[in-house]
Structure 1
Amino acid sequence: MSDVRNDDDLAVLLSTAVDADTLSRLHRRLEQAAERADLIDVAYTTIDSPVGRLLLAATPKGLVRVAFDGEDHDRVLETLSQKISPRILRAPQRLEETAREIDEYFARRRQVFDVPLDLSLSHGFRRLVQTHLPEIAYGQTRSYRDMAELVGNPRAVRAVGTACATNPLPIVVPCHRVLRTDGTLGGYIGGLDAKTTLLDLEAAA
């Protein structure tokens, strides 16, 4: 991306001890130049939350990935570079609306997310299940069997569990609201503590 930086920026980096503010300004200039040149296929940022640090990533179509700390953010970005595009840049401004909505959710001021979504990381039956997850109302839960019946395949209970476990957009696409048929939590990509936190947050509202 040499066309979106200039020699003055490089001179600053090479000739001075760069403090955090200077680095931030330089990165913002790089981000703005990349935006103008339409060179960002995947923008990302990280935010703090009650369930740990979250990585948010978006394409021009919409939010494509929400990743928990335990997923290894570097590995998630590498996967995005392979599956979507290597033209990835930290660009917080592009994720400001998503970050705001997630903050509102944890503050119990939001029950439904409005940001556009890019579901291109999911396919087939998994994508079908994930498309229906937002139909589970805030504060409500459904079983794997309920979801299998909802998508028209009552025998696909285990496949529903897999679709929830591989959901690339947890929290925003609420797979935490799906429990095992016996009412126990089941697995969760962010860990059972995170799933419990989300369910308790919604139940308290």
Structure 2
Amino acid sequence: MATGHGRVRGSYDAVAEEYLGRIGGELAYKVVDRALLGVVVEEAAGGVVADLGCGPGHVAGWLAEQGAGVVGVDLSPRMVELARREQPKAEFRTGDLLALPAADGEFAAAVALYSVIHLEPEELLPAFVEMWRVLRPGGVLLVSFHLGDEVRRMEEWWGHRVDVDFHFRGTDAVAARLAEAGFAVEARLEREGLPEEAPTRRGYLLARRPR
């Protein structure tokens, strides 16, 4: 496992219950996110969708409600434990974005919503190579991230001691790493933060593993 991921894992273990309570219902007010996730479900055409960095499983649960088979993967064992409790219609695995616990071509589609924000710059390409590996030819990947060029370190989060870095990235930079990994970027979207969210601008990229 790459240096630093233990800090991320421990931080999310610490805030897991609070995260579920505060973030677990976020799709109710995220119209754009639901629309993009709907595209992923349609593209998967009944195949299995991977939720990479699934947290407490709320996105995986939404995908399952739309009729998709879903496998969620998260670095935090506590998050995976909560996801299994809260979302029995989906499968969950503990794993790292740099070494996904999945077979080659296992998934019809994948989403990585704000999970790549904890990767170091040099880890972004290897993570996208792993995502390419676990997608079947023609499969789509939806990636979201905070827009910018800064790194924010958090040592306190909702009253819990943590040690985690948030890497803000530009759309062009993320798109370039996707292309290096072999993806064809098909759509990009940027939006302002919602009142219910942290005050950051958000970026989305929809990419495809060519057939």
Please state which band the TM-score falls in when normalised by the shorter chain: under 0.3
TM-score normalised by structure 2 residue count: 0.24
Which is greater in Rg? 1
TM-score by length of 1: 0.24
Structure with more of its chain in helix, by fraction: 1
**Which structure: greater strand fraction?**
2
